Structure 1
Amino acid sequence: MEYKKLGNTGIEVSKIAFGAEYMVERPYEDSEALIKACEENGINFVDCWMSEPDVRSHLGKAIAPNRDFWVIQGHIGATWQNNQYVKSRDMDKVIPAFEDFMQRFQIDTLDFGMIHYVDQIDDYNEIMNGPFMEYVRKLKQEGTIKHIGLSTHNPDIGILAAKSPEIESIMFSMNPAFDMFGTMEDIWEYRKEGVFDDDSLSSINPKRVELYELCEKTGTALTAMKGFAGGNLLSDEISPFGVALTPIQCIHYALEQKGVSSIFVGVDNVSELEDSIKYCDATDDEKDYTHVLKNAPKHSFEGQCTYCGHCAPCSSQINIAMAIKFYDLAKNHDEVPESIKQHYSDLKYHAGDCISCGDCEERCPFNVDIVDLMMDIKDLFDL
């Protein structure tokens, strides 16, 4: 495993990091197995944005024996309300949710306190000039968090954050598909009709380049998330390019961008983690993604779920992103594999609980027909 310093913080982390998003609604043993596999392979950096109590407790318990080995990144503003994740700026919700994070992770000090999921300019300004940022500053002054970070999908927000002396780290969604897009007021810009039809969407957008170069110039740590686009880039059938990339190629793409120190890989099990770790011993030919993108037919993310979770909260408390993920995994088989069927069955709420209110579709940045998809999922798993 190779390591790199996170901007000006001086903290050294593994180039491949563990994004634990798929540990939601999973038993402790799954988290423990992945944490141990990370440790055995030199991965020392973990991000937990999830607010579900169990996932926090499981990760905290698994990490506790080797706490000094780990660099932990936790999110401020990710809350748990009515048994589901809700992004919030309400300090009556934000503060207890963060205190819950610290308690469940069994830590007194957090390496990176991330301002959670900022995609709108107004939201950014309100955060930076209001009680939310006052609370974050207080946490740092008290030593509860060592460094302040921010997560975003919007390059304009990223640029503002990189120019702020207080923001020391930015976690940004980064892959060959997302990088075709530049400025957007918020993530809803992806939903504009015909947004993917522009012939100029054939290479990295200059706005993204500006952000990456600015982070390198200012010493703002830059880490990548959504490197596989929710797994879509790994499949010929659903890749927006019409052809699959490998985990190695996706990882290399992110780590090649200026300013990037590490990429959080979202993996479901140890086998998938090992597929990512193969990057460490990969040849230049295995890392090369350019020939794939040069010869790929242009495709759109329109209508494709990337399991980003922005559809939440659900009126029926369905974990929509996970339900769709298991559906996508299952539908390519003649018969649903028992392992996938069991994962889906273990969800607390299922597609059949959908009341067709459509609220999720209003929030979906990729215009997925979620209500219709819930019916298809119900029919496939037939629970």
Structure 2
Amino acid sequence: MNYRILGRTGIKVSEIGIGGEGFENRSYEDCEALIDCAMKNGINFIDVYNSNPEVRSHHGRALKKYPRDAFVIQGHLCTVWDDGQYRRSRELKEIVPAFMDLLERMQLNYIDVGMIHYVDEKSDFERIMSKGIIAYAQELKRQGHIKALGLSTHNPDIALMAVESGLIDVILLSINPAYDMLPASEDVDILFEDETFANRTYEGIDPKREHLYQLCENRGVALTVMKGYAAGKLFSQAESPFGQALTPVQCLHYALTRPAVAAVMVGVSSQEQLLAAAAYATASDAEKDYSEILANAPKSSFRGHCMYCGHCAPCSQKIDIAAVNKYLDLALIQETVPETVNGHYELLAHYAEECIAYGECLKNCPFGVAITDRMKQAVAVFGK
């Protein structure tokens, strides 16, 4: 398993994490088996949105056998258990005891990432940021009950507001190649409707989403991913907007090649599904490659957009073309080149100035990126 640093938090997490969906209505033995399988395969990152007291208790009991520094918990604020059902809340009188219940049932002194749950509307975001919820979350952070502050959303507009606030360290966002082509919306339900994808011609990644990823990278705000499989839509040739099915590994690779993404939280209900996700760690470049499917999709055009897929390789001068393009994009959204981006560029073994315009990369790129022009632009921006 490969590990990444969760943005500016400094927390190390596995690239593949597990979500909470598969733990509902399961016996303790089933939950323990999933957690043990995850830990055995190097998966140390677990999202617990669940307010179900039984699920929380199962997690706590199963994780008790492991050292506390062996796992990272992304636990949610604002989820409560009401008359046998999950409910999202914005009332502190409900939120406070629900979070204390999370700590108690999971037998933990702290949660690594305290995630403000499910904020998709501007009015909801403003309410959270102007009233007691954000103050309570910040107090939990000061007290050490949470190490980093997060927010979950399906709406890029809200994610951008969260980044600009300067208060949010981690954003849990729905990311996959299908959703990336859609404009921001406060209506999360459109992500699951066939009509959303049926009669649309796509022009690459929505500019706002692309800007969000780059801004998060520059600000040190980590992205963790939900809905990486688009609720299974991408596994079906009939339902996929690209006219071909993608594999779990291809979906994971797409998300993990977006700027600022640290991990994909995969919803699994069986060890087989978990192992299919964990297989990403040992998958070949050919197994990860999603570029041909996106490039040849009947109703979409990613032409001219670098997807950081690495399909342009090998370069005769050994330039990491995908990395140069990524750092160039990160630099271009700022008035001046951020120190961190310049530092990453400096660490490259070979620079854009070494490009001899041999042109093989142009033939290899499935998205028609003007690579040699981009190399010249990188030299102008980075000085070499």
Report the TM-score range of the alignment, normalised by the length of the smaller protein: 0.7 to 0.9
TM-score (norm 1): 0.74
Which residue is 2:82 aligned to?
81
**Distance of 2:271 and 2:192 partners within structure 1:** 34
Which residue is 2:23 aligned to?
23
User: Are 2:200 and 1:211 aligned?
Assistant: no
CA 211–91 in structure 1, closer or farther in 2 if over 3 Å, else same = same
* Gap runs ≥5 in structure 1: 300-383
Q: In angstroms, what is the RMSD of aligned CA positions? A: 2.0
Deviation (angstroms), 1:162 = 1.2
CA 195–270 in structure 1, closer or farther in 2 if over 3 Å, else same = closer
Q: Once structures 1 and 2 are overlaid, which stretch shifts more, 123-132 or 134-143?
A: 134-143
Query: Equivalent residue of 1:175, what SS?
Result: coil
Contact 1:17–1:264 (Cα < 8 Å) also in 2: yes
TM-score (norm 2): 0.74
Which residue is 1:159 aligned to?
160
Contact 2:173–2:226 (Cα < 8 Å) also in 1: yes
Which residue is 2:115 aligned to?
114
Name the aligned partner's letter for residue 34 of structure 1: L
Which residue is 1:62 aligned to?
62
Which residue is 2:13 aligned to?
13
CA 260–131 in structure 1, closer or farther in 2 if over 3 Å, else same = same
Q: Once structures 1 and 2 are overlaid, which stretch shifts more, 151-160 or 273-282?
A: 273-282
Name the aligned partner's letter for residue 165 of structure 2: S
Equivalent residues in 2 for 1:1-383 (5 A)? Answer: 1-66=1-66, 67-187=68-188, 195-196=196-197, 199-298=200-299
Q: Once the two structures are superposed, what CA deviation does each residue of 1:275-321 show, in whole Å capped at 9, x if it has no partner?
A: 1111111111111112123334459xxxxxxxxxxxxxxxxxxxxxx
**Distance of 2:124 and 2:178 partners within structure 1:** 25
Contact 2:76–2:114 (Cα < 8 Å) also in 1: yes
Which residue is 2:362 aligned to?
none
Contact 1:79–1:85 (Cα < 8 Å) also in 2: yes
Deviation (angstroms), 1:258 = 0.8
**Distance of 2:95 and 2:44 partners within structure 1:** 27
Contact 2:201–2:299 (Cα < 8 Å) also in 1: no
Which residue is 1:317 aligned to?
none
Name the aligned partner's letter for residue 29 of structure 2: E
Query: Equivalent residue of 1:261, what SS?
Result: strand
CA 297–149 in structure 1, closer or farther in 2 if over 3 Å, else same = same
CA 137–55 in structure 1, closer or farther in 2 if over 3 Å, else same = same
Query: Equivalent residue of 1:42, what SS?
Result: coil
Contact 2:110–2:144 (Cα < 8 Å) also in 1: yes
Contact 1:163–1:218 (Cα < 8 Å) also in 2: no
**Distance of 2:219 and 2:297 partners within structure 1:** 35
Percent of aligned pairs sharing the same letter = 47
Q: Once structures 1 and 2 are overlaid, which stretch shifts more, 91-100 or 146-155?
A: 91-100
Name the aligned partner's letter for residue 251 of structure 2: C
**Distance of 1:108 and 1:49 partners within structure 2:** 18
Query: Equivalent residue of 1:172, what SS?
Result: strand
Q: Once structures 1 and 2 are overlaid, which stretch shifts more, 269-278 or 230-239?
A: 230-239
**Distance of 2:179 and 2:193 partners within structure 1:** 15
Contact 2:200–2:299 (Cα < 8 Å) also in 1: no
**Distance of 1:298 and 1:88 partners within structure 2:** 40
Deviation (angstroms), 1:92 = 1.8
**Distance of 1:129 and 1:37 partners within structure 2:** 42
Q: Once structures 1 and 2 are overlaid, which stretch shifts more, 92-101 or 76-85?
A: 92-101
Deviation (angstroms), 1:239 = 3.2
**Distance of 1:239 and 1:55 partners within structure 2:** 33
**Distance of 1:231 and 1:135 partners within structure 2:** 36
Which residue is 1:374 aligned to?
none
Deviation (angstroms), 1:98 = 1.2
Aligned length in residues: 299
Structure number with larger C-alpha Rg: 2
**Distance of 1:39 and 1:183 partners within structure 2:** 36
Deviation (angstroms), 1:180 = 1.0
Name the aligned partner's letter for residue 48 of structure 2: C
Q: Once the two structures are superposed, what CA deviation does each residue of 1:158-192 show, in whole Å capped at 9, x if it has no partner?
A: 11111222111101000111111122234256599
Query: Equivalent residue of 2:64, what SS?
Result: helix
Query: Equivalent residue of 1:65, what SS?
Result: coil
Contact 2:5–2:12 (Cα < 8 Å) also in 1: yes
Name the aligned partner's letter for residue 45 of structure 1: F
Contact 2:179–2:191 (Cα < 8 Å) also in 1: no
Query: Equivalent residue of 2:54, what SS?
Result: helix
**Distance of 2:166 and 2:260 partners within structure 1:** 16
Name the aligned partner's letter for residue 286 of structure 1: E
Contact 1:78–1:97 (Cα < 8 Å) also in 2: yes
Contact 1:3–1:15 (Cα < 8 Å) also in 2: yes
**Distance of 1:189 and 1:178 partners within structure 2:** 10
Contact 2:75–2:111 (Cα < 8 Å) also in 1: yes
Q: Once the two structures are superposed, what CA deviation does each residue of 1:120-165 show, in whole Å capped at 9, x if it has no partner?
A: 0110011011011121112112111111100000001111111222
Q: Once the two structures are superposed, what CA deviation does each residue of 1:197-244 show, in whole Å capped at 9, x if it has no partner?
A: 664424211111011001000001111111011222122344344431
Query: Equivalent residue of 1:58, what SS?
Result: helix
